[in-house]
Amino acid sequence: MSSVSSSPTASHGRVVVVDDDASVRRMLCLALGTAGFEVHAPASQVELQRRLTLGRPDALLLDVQHSKRDGLDVLVRLRARPALQDVPIVFLAVGDDADFRQQVLRAGADWFGVRPLGLGKLRAQLAELIRNGRPAAPAGAPIIRLQPAG
């Protein structure tokens, strides 16, 4: 399946949506696109890599639900890219597991949202992160490194 894109005339910023569900990808693209964001939603890891070589996004939105481990792996790989070090990352998950939320935030997400989440709240959070940039991590803040499952 090909990627979904939305490019409004006046953009609030470029957002790359990473979601393993095509219908959610389309919904997020439409919701953010109509709110004035330039949205790209690659349908595969290959398309994601290609999209990232075409230009640095202003924010990344991860909603990877096949497994918690997959979502964390994607987050860690994206955060490890030097060109994405200062790009805000929003991570969406179904259910609010406090331990998982802390893992996600320590792995480099800048905001953790629980689905279902109001689209207005999501749009506002993305706009704020794009406008203000990544929040500064306190000195000595822990960063986790995930090891492959063995």
Domains and CATH numbers, the chain: 4-132 (3.40.50.2300)
* Residue 10, CA distances (Å) to 6, 31, 40, 84, 145 in order: 12, 15, 15, 23, 38
Q: What is the pTM of this model?
A: 0.81
Residue 52 and residue 3: Cα distance in Å, rounded?
A: 13
Q: What confidence score (pLDDT) does residue 68 get?
A: 64
Residue ranges with strand state E in the chain? 4-6, 14-19, 38-41, 59-63, 89-94, 111-115
What share of residues in the chain are helix, strand, coil (percent, to 5)? 40, 20, 40
Give 17-47 pLDDT, tens digit per residue: 998 889 989 999 999 999 999 999 999 888 9
Residue 143 clears pLDDT 50, i.e. is over it: no
Q: Which two tokens stand for residue 54?
A: 């075409």
